[in-house]
Each structure stands twice: as C-alpha cells, then as structure tokens.
Amino acid sequence: MDSEIAIAPHDPLPLSHELDENGFPIGSSSTDDDDDGDYEGYGDGDGEGRDVEDAAIADESSDAVSTFAADFYGSGTDWSSLVAAEEEGRKEKKGGLVQRSLLQMWGIKKPKEYEEGSGGMARNLGRKRRRSAMGGEEHVDRVDRRKGQEMKLDRPRVCPFYKKIPGTPFTVDAFRYGQIEGCLGYFLSHFHHDHYGGLSKRWSHGPIYCSSLTARLLKMCLSVNSLYICPLELDTEYDIEGVKVTMLDANHCPGAAVIHFRLSDGRTYLHTGDFRACKLMHSHPLLLNHRINVLYLDTTYLNPKYRFPPKEDVVDFVVKKTHNCLKKQPRTLVVVGAYSIGKENVYLAISQSLEVPIYANASRRRILQSFGWPELSGRLCSSGQSSPLHVLPLSFLRHENLKEYLKTLNKRFTAILAFRPTGWTFSESTGNQLDLIKPSTKGNVTIYGVPYSEHSSFTELRDFVKFLRPEKIIPTVNIGNAASRDKMQAYIREWLKV
C-alpha cells in the first residue's frame, strides 16, 4: 500500500565516496580515547545504548562545507567540548532516572548537589547549558575560573554523518542538533531519550516522521506540536520527498522501528535505530527480496562476549525464580525495573503466571495505556497495596532504595525480590545457563541481574548481517575511538566474506 506524504524538489544531503566498505573514512587515524567500557548508556534513553559519539560538537575553527564523512570527524575529535553531556551523565549516575526528561513524571527529586545554587558539582565545574530562545540549538558556555574570565563558546552542534541518509533530505535520530541545513524530514526511530533528545514543545525545524505509537508519546510526554508530527504505520510504504519509506518492527521497545529507504535511483538504505534482530526479520519481503546498499547498524553489543540468551528464556527464568521465592516467602513483593517504555514482557509474564495485577504509578500507567495493548493495560492497577508485583524505574533498584520503599507499604510485605533486566548484566561465565546467576542479597532485599536485552546480541548481529549481506555497513554505536571501530570492522569483514 502506497501512501503519499509529500513530494518536493530538494538538494540531497551530501555523500562522500571517501569511505571504506564499512562506512569509515579511508586512511583515518583518530586519536580519540573515550571510554567504551561496559557501562549503562549514560543515563539517557534505554540504558543499553552507548551513543557517546552523539555528544560531538564541531571544531570551532572549521569553516569548511561539511561532507558526508567530515561531519563525523569534525564533530568527534574535540572532546573538551563534551562538558555538557558528560556533566549530565555524572548527574544521572548519581541517582537520576534513565529517562532524564521524565524525572518529574516519576515524582523523583534530583539530588541536592545538582540543584541550582547548591554549590554541588554542576556549579563547581563552572559550566552551564543554555538553549537559544527560538529553536533548541544547544550551545556551551564555559567559565575559566583559574583566570577569572568567562569564555563563551557559541558553537552549535554539528550533525554527524552517520545520522544523515545520503542522497535524501533526511536525518535519523538527530534532534539534538537543532535545525540541520538541507534536512526536510527528521525521522525518529523510537521513544528513548538518547534518540529523541532535543525534541520539546518548542520544536519547529521540520516534520518528524515516526511510528504511530511514538507519535502519541511525543504529544503526551513532550507536548510536541502536532503540526510537526507525521505518524507512519508499520509495514506501509510512503512516498516522502520522492523517497519510498517503510517502517518495520524493530523488536526493541513499543513503537520502535527499523526504517527502510528506497531512493528513485534504486539505492536502498536500512537504518535499524535500536533493534533486536530475530529470524522473523529474515522473512520480511523488503529484506528478503531487495539488496541493501547501506546498513546503519545498532552495534551496541558488537562484541563476542555478549552472546546472551533469547528473551523468552530469560522471561521463563524470571517467572520460575518468582514462583520459587513466593513458595518460601509468600509475603514477598516482586519488583521489576524498567525504563519509561521497554521491558513490558518481563512483568507481564509474571503477572499472567501469578494471576496478579501490575502496580505502576500514575505516570507510567498513562504511558502504558497509550500503547493500545489490552493484555497489558487490562492488568494495571493503581494501588500498591493490592498487588505483589510492582514496576519501578530501573535505576531505582538499589538495596537501600528498595528497603525504604518496603517501609512505605505499611508492613504489607516482609521482603523484596527484584529483577534488573538488561543485557549489561550478562556474564560469559554464566552464558546461557541462567540457573548459574547469583543474586545480590542484603537483609530482606534480593536483586537479580538478568540478561534480558532489547538490543541484538553478537550472534544475532552476525546472523542478520550474513542474511542481508549489504554493500556497506555504518555502525551507529561505540564508534567514539579508533580501537573500537577497528574491532568492529574486523568482525564485519569476516561476516561479509563470500
């Protein structure tokens, strides 16, 4: 089914041919030394993606016209300019929520050391963020306290090349860069902050294309002007600015989409956003019958040590542990950590198995009810006392926090069994033998870290790439330094061998 959105003359975003077979500039020797260690993505978004490179800011002295690859290196080498993003990462590791923009919705107050004028880290660093009044372009003001002089560096962030779709006037998940020259369509893969960051009710730079569910969340949670939101149904082909666009289910979080672009000259690009590859994708007609020229790949776990088990196996393990615990201690409260969206299948499975409702606060219930998912919304309840199954923010799952939470329930429960479902909890020593996972117990609070991920494992990425066999692959995560890029290139080259 074709649906025409708009067709208009345009100048395509620039494309450089100075790239190797995997989307990296030829002959580059980056000296970036950012940390690509195993940590949860710095407080933004779903907590599993590590888009450190998205914080890039253009080099101050560069006046040259941007090219497809130069945008990446021009915006990724001046690490001294990343103070704003780093500062936010520190804040949220100290106790903020993964979904930064939803702190107020969850009713959790920021730690005092980060409140304005408190004399905490934010003030001591002598840095602040500000936005231009008209459009949301971010700038950084820096204060050199040693010299007692203020240096204002008014430098708008430059959109990296890997967020642009060459030969089209489109970008993907590039909202934090404000208005992008030549961009007539801003695509959003899903509603996690590390992808929608930069969107607000002030957005006025151009149309936002996303799935219908994501469109509802943009209006409900961020108050984005409906005039700029263009919802697209999954598995429906649209003609947008002369490009055939189809959104596919990303198997990530509700509303997440893999975006398929087919240009008028026949070139085809696939942007995965965040996704978990599965065998079902191998049978999709668009992927089965059409060669992909360029694949923009979610490489969050492109590391052979991340070979975590299927989601279904992890869910079965969680349900089994829950039943075993409740047999021994019937007055146990079961807690599942989750982001604002994502991980729903974990607590839904517990609810169905125990035949109990799911307690979530009003803000989370409002979001979950917007999904149009009757099996889930029909199980939600508004009283924490009436259900032994509670959903709390993932970053809240600390022993001390849960002990305090237990006290608020008026002795209705005597212990807590909590699950932290994220791929970063995967251990090579455990592998797929989930029964070897050992919980962390302090007093009457037990926490299991379980490798339930909504991103592709290393083996799933390998199988997906071997199935698609694209001409070129551009990684979108963990590309902040040369060593990381080289490792990924080596794996990708091996996968693409005939």
When pLDDT is averaged across residues 419-432 and rounded to a whole number, the result is 80
283 and 378 share one domain: no
Which range, of 36-45, 146-155, 205-214, 236-245, averages the lowest pLDDT? 36-45
215 and 172 part of one domain: yes
Give the domain CATH number at 284: 3.60.15.10
What are the pLDDT digits (tens) for 74-126?
A: 333 232 332 333 333 444 444 333 333 433 433 444 444 333 333 333 333 33
Confidence at residue 480, expressed as pLDDT on a 0 to 100 scale: 83
Q: How many residues does the chain have?
A: 498
Residue 46: predicted pLDDT: 54
Tell me the percentage of the chain whose pLDDT exceeds 70: 68
d(CA 251, CA 280): 10
Q: What is the pLDDT of residues 329-338, one digit of tens each?
A: 999 999 999 9
pLDDT of the residue at 154: 53
Residue 292, pLDDT above cutoff 50: yes
**Residue range 372-381: average pLDDT?**
95
Phi, psi (deg, nearest 5) at residue 242:
80, 5
Burial of 10 (0-12, 13-18, 19+ CB in 10 A): middle
Q: Which domain holds residue 260?
A: 2-16+160-298
CATH of the domain at 439: 3.40.50.12650
Q: CA nearest 274: which of 219, 221, 196?
A: 196
Q: Are residues 225 and 343 in the same domain?
A: no
Helix (H) or strand (E) holding 366: helix 362-369
Total number of domains in the chain:
2
Neighbouring residues of 324: CB distance < 8 A, sequence distance ≥ 6: none
Could you tell me which of 191, 200, 185 has the C-alpha nearest to residue 257?
Answer: 191
Q: What span, in angstroms and rounded, lies between the C-alpha atoms of 207 and 186?
A: 6
Highest mean pLDDT among 11-15, 83-87, 185-189, 411-415: 185-189
Specify the pTM.
0.73
Q: Are residues 445 and 315 in the same domain?
A: yes
Determine, yes or no, domain membership for 495: no
Instruction: Say if residues 270 and 296 touch (Cβ distance below 8 Å).
Output: yes
Q: Which of 324, 305, 278, 316 is nearest to 425 (CA)?
A: 305
